[in-house]
A and B are shown apart, each in its own frame.
Chain A
Amino acid sequence: MKHKTFLWFFLPSGMAMFLFIAMPIVSVLTQSVYAPHEQVIREVENCTLFGCSKATQIDQEATRALRDAEPMGRFVGPSIYTDRNHLAFAEIAGIWRNASGLGDFFGQVTNLPFYDALSFTLTYTALVTPLSLAFGLIIALAVNALPQLFRGPVIFVSLLPMIVTPLVGALILFWMIDARGVLGAALQALAGDPGLSIKASTPLMWTMLIVYGVWSSAPFAFVIYYAGLQTVPGDTLESAMIDGASRWERIRYVILPHLLPLTTFMALIKIMDNFRVFEPIVSFSAGAHAKSLSYFIYSDLGGETRLLSSAAATSVLTIAGIIVLISPVLVRTWHAFGRVRA
């Protein structure tokens, strides 16, 4: 393609990417290094239905003068990133000095809100990504082995978890795992403990969220793998069969290598998706037991007093986290691409 043709071809998407991807990231970055002005507080007397009392108020005139002088807010550099509610450098240094052992150190670090959210987010991503791909592959192989007649209905049923809106799907599960719900009661009977409650236990809640994550995202892997399976060359499979390869060996040495590029692609998408896990935590009211980075941003923005700079800093850290996580996959793709070209 000529460079000029390429330029015109690429220009609309380039513009859109600049407007909707680059600009918001720049805006979030800027927001994260600026904070609201110091508030001038003055003592006032407030009178309500219930009598008068001494209280404080923001002195609007004095604060306006500050705001007019610096309309962007107060430049705070990286201090939001390093404060106690984010990377907490000072706190971690303190914990390192005083911790009795490595276990105690990690226990205290995950007590800090950002690391608490990070530890769940990483666990979730690390487990849900491979598990949902594996389940997707198993379903795809199973469906592929079915007679043509049954494939349609089975595919439809397998796709249901993906069709249901995440919020609604998670809500349905939330009610089923209630101590008085179908699954919750069944679990109590199985464990022989009538006081057992998934919603009251952190490990069970984490398990539940991960199970939900696999349940809702396996169909995506299934669809892609199923499509991929239709392209497996028949001759190679046949010759493998003539060579006496068992079904497992055919999967291991023919099908899996053939599906590798698809796996890389899906791992990339799923890592990004899972790192942003949010809806199930809301639907399961799991905030007490599990917080993700996205949930952390949401609570900063949802409070009575919005913490915009804090939310922006966490967003930047989330973006950084995603880049770190997907870089091995990207590097791998880059090498593969290079090999094909060469």
Chain B
Amino acid sequence: MTISLKRLFQSALFSSSLLALSAGAASASCGDIAGRVSVVGNEFPAIHTVTKAAATCANDKVTVKANLTADHQKINLPGMQGNPAEYTSAIIATSSITPLLNGNVIRPLDDLVAKFGQDIPKRQLITVNGKVVAVAFMANAQHLVYRDDVLKKIGMEPPKTYEQLLEAAEKIRAAGIMKNPVGGAYATGYNLGLEFINIYMALGGELFKDGTPTASVKNGQGVAALELMKKLTGYMNPDFLTHDSNATAAEWEAGNVALMNFWGSRTGVLMDKQGSTPEVYENTKVGAPMTIGGGKIPATTLWWDGWTVARNIPDADAAATFVAMKTGTSPAILNDATMGQAVWMIEGYKPAPVNQGVMLTMESGAKPYPMLPYMGLLHAAIGENVARYLSGKADAQTTLADIEAAYTAAAKEKGFLK
């Protein structure tokens, strides 16, 4: 995982946004609960909405506290390992739930769902081995973001495949409109690892040998994925290995980029009037994720965000947490201001244009990001080694062999492989 500059900066210089919410007006919908609610989660507008709504359950008997920070993955596991746990709930996503499952720090929610959550739609319940472990409230994915005006100038439709994207990029460059028209979060580490996984899975590649923890990326699809990434980076700002999602968004807002595969949860920032000129934000459009080489699977992965309840807390706190978080993700939170913040997986959600990309991704047959105990280790190994390939330090075969070797050593240490 790469270190996002912003993340380190935030943790080093400013304390994370800690909002302690004292007893406010008791909400009738929370019912008869008493206990401590303490939430840890990532920091973006949709999650603020959830924790604010959860805080309406605070009263004389219930305290609600939220610690929202981009560093949440570093603190949620240690913060839930104590007994009693500091955090009674962690807001997590597809990949960040695995360390919590591996560490056995979140509790099955079946009894709480039976008691308090009968009205939660079944599709929101995330189950592992038949047990509910989390309640999802939003979906996220990377998909095409393009500049309508630039594509019109070169007379092309929005690309549906990466081949068309490369063709469009060449035309934009040849027409002298932009020097490096392709963008993307290609920062060494986590971001780069995810781009490889997206493309590799779209090419039909399997990350592990049939159901075992043995990695298998040294194959034709692996080479093809690396080669496509190298071609794409040929049209990117040469500093691409330092561009995380924030830097990529900044490049877009500066009007330097016309085509990219980017997070749905961040397109709102690109389309709002802040930090950019009308030429850029008025022409920023989203589309379905792209496929490769005539394949059917688009080069992206589906993600959900949801909440969990800690294991090492008294049952009363667990009940209070469940009810508060359920209130935080109830249909009542949806209004004009919050509707566009995310692709809410909540009854009553009406997609805004800004969220069209994620909706299209869900319809496109994209695969969910793998929820496997050892996925994080492989992701980290990919992120480090693909950077070596893209900066010309290793060839494709060496890179793929290095990914497998680095993963194997780490997985042996963690006890996943013998």
Contact = CB atoms under 8 A, between A and B. Distances in A.
Contacts of A44: 128-130
B142 to A, nearest CB: 15
A298 B384 CA distance: 13
Interface stretch (B4-12, B17-25, B165-173, B257-265): B4-12
Interface in B61-109: 73-74, 94-96, 98-99, 101-102, 104
Chain B interface, >50% SS class? mixed
Interface in B175-224: 187-189, 211, 213
Interface in B373-418: 373-374, 376-377, 379-380, 384, 387-388, 390-391, 393-394, 398, 402, 405-406, 408-410, 412-416, 418
Given A50-B362, A282-B8, A285-B5, A304 B239 contact: no
A74 B418 CA distance: 12
A304 B368 contact: no
A39 B242 contact: no
Interface in A273-293: 282-289
A252 B412 CA distance: 57
A199 B239 contact: yes
Question: Secondary structure at chain A's binding surface: helix, strand, loop or mixed?
Answer: mixed
A84 B238 CA distance: 31
B120 interface: no
A244 interface: no
Nearest to A108: B398
Contact of A200 (B12, B238, B398): B238
A282 B391 contact: no
Interface string B361-378: 010000010111110110
A144 interface: no
B342 interface: no
A45 B413 contact: no
A284 B99 CA distance: 29
Contact of A111 (B99, B398, B412, B414): B398
Contacts of B393: 111, 202
Given A46-B128, A83-B413, A167 B9 contact: yes
A282 B380 contact: no
Contacts of A42: 129
Most central of A50, A202, A299 by chain B CB within 10 Å: A50
A153 to B, nearest CB: 29
A48 B304 CA distance: 8
Nearest to A305: B376
A80 interface: yes
B126 A48 contact: yes
Nearest to A178: B239
Given A47-B126, A171-B5, A282-B8, A305 B99 contact: yes
Contact of B414 (A36, A47, A287, A298): A36
A37 interface: yes
B127 interface: yes
Nearest to B237: A179
B310 interface: no
| Interface range, B side | 35 or more
Contacts of B12: 167
A49 B380 contact: no
Contact of A57 (B74, B126, B129, B136): B129
B128 A35 contact: no
B345 interface: yes
A307 B101 contact: no
B164 interface: no
A96 B166 CA distance: 42
B238 A199 contact: yes
Interface string A20-64: 000000000000000111110111111111110111111010001
Interface string A57-79: 11010001000000000101000
B316 interface: no
B413 A56 contact: no
Given A179-B239, A282-B3, A304-B379, A113 B384 contact: yes
5 contacts: A58-B102, A85-B409, A202-B393, A304-B99, A304-B379
Interface of A: 35-39, 41-51, 53-58, 60, 64, 74, 76, 80, 83-85, 91, 111, 113, 167-168, 171, 178-179, 195, 197, 199-200, 202, 282-289, 298-299, 302-307, 309-310
